[in-house]
Amino acid sequence: MKLKMIKTMAVALAVIILVMAGVGVAGVISAQAADTTAAASEAAAESNVGINDILGKAIGAGVAVGLAALGGGIGMGLAVGRCGEGVARQPEMSGKIQTIMMLGLVFIETVVIYALIISILVIFVL
């Protein structure tokens, strides 16, 4: 049971990381496309490029954090539910099950925090 839960959490974390990376790359590509379009346009059109650049970054960062939070919430819900089932089956193991659950929740939340940090970097650094 523990191994299956750990495998499920590992797969969920991998999917979350891949989705975050894909969304982040898409946001950066859209922002770079706006930059290259702006370089070729007139000075009047260049004033709108700043808005397009910021908008692309904001959308990419928002989607990345939203998907990471959604995946993290689903993963946490599954982990807590399975741990509740484990405690119901073996009440004497509740301490160990609770410890494993908390460790898993910390790892899941860490991925969401990484997504937030990457999104902040995309908005302010790139």
CATH number at residue 19: 1.20.20.10
**Total domains, the chain:** 1
Dist CA 76 CA 12 (whole Å):
10
Token output for 95: 């301490």
Give the structural domain span for 85: 2-124
- pLDDT above 70: residue 67: yes
Per-residue pLDDT reduced to its tens digit, 80-120:
999 999 999 999 999 999 999 999 999 999 989 998 998 88
When comparing pLDDT for 2 and 79, which is higher?
79
Per-residue pLDDT reduced to its tens digit, 11-61:
666 667 666 656 555 555 555 555 555 544 554 455 555 677 778 888 888
Average pLDDT over residues 77-82: 92
pLDDT at site 52: 72
pLDDT at site 43: 46
Give me the numbers of helices (H) and strands (E) for the chain, helices first please: 3, 0
Alpha carbon separation from 31 to 62, 69, 107 (Å, rounded) = 14, 23, 31
When comparing pLDDT for 40 and 67, which is higher?
67
pTM for the structure as a whole: 0.56
pLDDT at site 90: 92
pLDDT at site 84: 92
